[in-house]
Amino acid sequence: MLLDYDRLGWLRAALLGFTGLIAAFLLLPVVFIVLLSFGSSRWLAFPPPGWTLKWYEELFADPAWLEAALTSARIATMAAILAVLIGLLASFALVRGQFRGRNTLRGLLLTPMVLPVVVFAIAIYAFFLRIGLGGTTAGFVIAHTVLALPFAIIPITAALEGFDKSIEDAAIVCGASPFEAKLRVTLPAIKIGIFSAAIFAFLASWDEVVVAIFMASPTLQTLPVKIWGSLRQDLSPVIAAASSLLVLLTLSLMIVTALIRRKLSK
């Protein structure tokens, strides 16, 4: 009976109450930060003595914030495109390839997701210093592509495993070239996987803090580096304003994802 929602009895009330409590716990910081960003207290008193938009004005008055956001968007877009392209090619080999060491290869390509990012951060920092890519956009993009690759490979291989290969074979038998068959039959069939890959890969770079802290130079800062720098100075409400915009971005991304997924799965 424990897995029958309608027959749980008193346990259901207890479990529902607990679930509600944890949902509130998960929501608390997000809602709190948005409310705080409109509060008039510089010392982050809560509930705020009054409401204001001045932290947003301060945020937009400082060009460094916008510049950091644009840098992040640029790097995350490039890293996501590269990770999806490279990940797509690799996924075909990982799912369909018949070669020795396929599972080892899969494990290797997914390792950047498992290795503590601080280890990779200092390793790539030292390496880029030596080969002259330290503090450059190219360096950022390469490092973030490495970190984003597992997040691209996982949904694409999952989608590819669920796709019946005989449909692609049928297209080839009907005269399509193997490339054409992949492009016009297989890719449309796994587009939800590719779309998820793009979102996850983008977020992996957009949210990345540790590598960015090491790689950043005074002239090249991503948004997380800018927030990190401000956090270490003080807990200014301007950070709350910037954070609220990031929450807004997350919400829009969730809605867009839900809509596109619904549309694609039709």
Query: Tokens representing 66?
Result: 């916008």
Instruction: Identify the CA nearest to 156 among candidates 102, 254, 83.
Output: 83
Site for another protein in 104-133 (CB under 8 A): 105-112, 114-127
Least distance in angstroms from the C-beta of 74 to another protein: 17
Give Cβ neighbours of residue 177 (< 8 Å, ≥ 6 apart).
none
C-beta separation of 199 from 253 below 8 A: yes
Fill in the per-residue mask, 161 to 190: x = in contact with another protein (CB under 8 A), - = not in contact: x---xx--x--xx----xx--x--------
C-beta separation of 186 from 120 below 8 A: no
Least distance in angstroms from the C-beta of 167 to another protein: 10
Site for another protein in 41-60 (CB under 8 A): 43-46
Query: Tokens representing 68?
Result: 């950091």
Instruction: Identify the CA nearest to 195 among candidates 123, 260, 98.
Output: 260
Residue 64 in the binding site for another protein (CB under 8 A): no
| Distance from C-alpha of 34 to C-alpha of 246, rounded to nearest angstrom | 10
Piece of the chain touching another protein by CB under 8 A; list 54-62, 63-71, 73-81, 202-210: 202-210
Q: Which of 149, 201, 216, 241 binds another protein (CB under 8 A)?
A: 149
Piece of the chain touching another protein by CB under 8 A; list 21-29, 51-59, 63-71, 73-81: 21-29
Least distance in angstroms from the C-beta of 114 to another protein: 5
Fill in the per-residue mask, 205 to 244: x = in contact with another protein (CB under 8 A), - = not in contact: --x-xx--xx---------x--xx--x---x---xx--x-
Q: Which of 73, 81, 253, 260 binds another protein (CB under 8 A)?
A: 253
Hey, CA dihedral for 162, 164, 165, 168, is it positive or negative?
A: negative
Peptide bond into 63 cis (omega under 30): no
Give Cβ neighbours of residue 15 (< 8 Å, ≥ 6 apart).
8
Least distance in angstroms from the C-beta of 145 to another protein: 7
Piece of the chain touching another protein by CB under 8 A; list 50-58, 59-67, 73-81, 156-164: 156-164
